[in-house]
Chain A
């Protein structure tokens, strides 16, 4: 019955709604730009001096800002999780999702709008953050192809995290809870990766975790692309992580959606 064309049409409708929301309530978007910008300034001007000196060989002789900015881009991608989970959760409490679920609308379309909106917002805020980074002194050495690859990774990773965030939004008990549950993704995982300092410099236990978690693979790939280094096998690890997280988030969201919310 529900042909793929109708499903795409439904998803586009929901995406349009989501983008309209962003325009009319831009505060969440501003937040996802502000956090990475503040972190950028904080690490570049306050903490960056000693960190930069301590980096040694890891920076390949480049200033700390060139090491830092790929990490800030990753932080920007992660920051979108908050608004996405909040938006999904707000739909739930407003009864809107129930209305749509009781209509003959393609199942995936509902969250696809939120996920698509999240990706669009992430790309927007990433562009703004990169612009600020250039003002601060970031000097990327990426080729056009490398920039395209950066855009691809930002899109893919933000797509995966958005599905995860949507699932979190569906299962959270409250709007505040939805945001709270994404905080580990927004902050803990970036800090426990090579976002700000190389994972190799961390204490043994944390180092093992940092070296093997998705954020390190993604940020190392971004860093290699932007600083003109060699990406190596990290590209495959990054793609694998994106697919795995997207799949897990998608399936979790579908289960949560099917289970629905018990009547109060």
Chain B
């Protein structure tokens, strides 16, 4: 082992390293030269609209489909050449729950334990531990058909954890969940990460990526259009603005004269002034406006990932379902 280390690099490999990844189906290009790196212990968010290539990406990383080009490694193991080594390190919770509906919750966990060749006693111990942890003790002897969407998803993730994976791929873990289950899923994902597991999470919800991810890659039509921390991404769009709305053209025009740095929206009589932050900036802007000009409405507009998304992909996030 020691000799190996002197021959190879000293740095630990990234949990996931992807360079120039390509995937096509027929003449349809699904992934068009993806580059990304996920550090160990990170929660990495892959954010994009439907059809952007998120699921294809997860399927390649979990060795379900081969890539067409580029190099893709998981903890240093190439997904093409060493799929078995990769499979021993990963856990996959796909977009559609992969629980067995004819087995009870507990039997599902035990089945996965058997397939992982976990010894019988350890298998039972781990299963009951996970049932406890995921609040499924009462449901353990029932079939998933009687579960709520959130419970099914929790069982799905519990099954993924039977193998103690070092990295977990969560493909749209909250799609289709009600707001409460979604929030408890978020808590669960944070707990997993706190336990040291690396997480790759795909989502079409900007709020979710913002909430959970240490780093985000925005994917659109098979390309990464931006990558960084949520804050870095937010910095890529214009900063906060004071938004002044006026009732009529006369007050709008005189306000625009008083505040020449403002960006005019002539159709709606709206003036946008860069906001330096704090109450002083706001007071200063309002005092320059003077008492005479009647303002209909004042608002402060902070950028969120939605703005980032629009700015980067150029297409509005489509409503889902």
Q: What residues on A are CB-neighbors of B103 within 8 Å?
A: 17, 20
Task: Give the Cβ gap from B171 to chain A, nearest Cβ, in Å.
Answer: 9
Q: Nearest chain-B residue to A93 (Cβ)?
A: B96
Assess whether B64 is in contact with A101, with CB atoms less than 8 Å apart.
yes
**Is the C-beta of A2 less than 8 angstroms from some C-beta in chain B?**
yes
Q: What residues on A are CB-neighbors of B97 within 8 Å?
A: 94-95
Contact of A13 among B55, B59, B114 (CB under 8 A): B114
Assess whether A24 is in contact with B92, with CB atoms less than 8 Å apart.
no
Chain B interface size range: 20 to 34
Chain A interface size range: 20 to 34
Q: B interface, by DSSP: helix, strand, loop or mixed?
A: loop
**26 A-B pairs with C-beta separation under 8 A:** A1-B84, A13-B111, A17-B100, A17-B103, A17-B111, A20-B107, A24-B102, A94-B96, A94-B98, A94-B100, A96-B99, A98-B94, A99-B94, A99-B98, A100-B115, A101-B64, A103-B87, A103-B115, A103-B163, A104-B84, A105-B115, A260-B64, A262-B65, A263-B30, A263-B55, A263-B65
Could you list which residues of chain A lie within 8 angstroms of chain B, going by C-beta atoms? 1-2, 6, 9-10, 13-14, 17, 20-21, 24-25, 93-96, 98-105, 260, 262-264
Additional A-B contacts beyond A95-B95, A101-B64 (9; CB < 8 A): A17-B103, A20-B103, A21-B102, A100-B115, A103-B163, A104-B84, A104-B87, A262-B65, A264-B55
Given contact pairs A102-B92, A103-B163, A260 touches B102 in the complex (Cβ within 8 A): no
How many angstroms between the C-alpha atoms of A187 and B102 in the bound complex?
A: 29
How many angstroms between the C-alpha atoms of A21 and B102 in the bound complex?
A: 6
Assess whether B64 is in contact with A2, with CB atoms less than 8 Å apart.
no
Task: Give the Cβ gap from A204 to chain B, nearest Cβ, in Å.
Answer: 44
A96, A100, A103 — which one has the most chain B CB atoms within 10 A of its CB? A103
Assess whether A104 is in contact with B98, with CB atoms less than 8 Å apart.
no
B87, B114, B116, B163 — which one has the most chain A CB atoms within 10 A of its CB? B114
Task: Give the Cβ gap from A261 to chain B, nearest Cβ, in Å.
Answer: 8
**Is the C-beta of B218 less than 8 angstroms from some C-beta in chain A?**
no
Q: Nearest chain-B residue to A110 (Cβ)?
A: B115
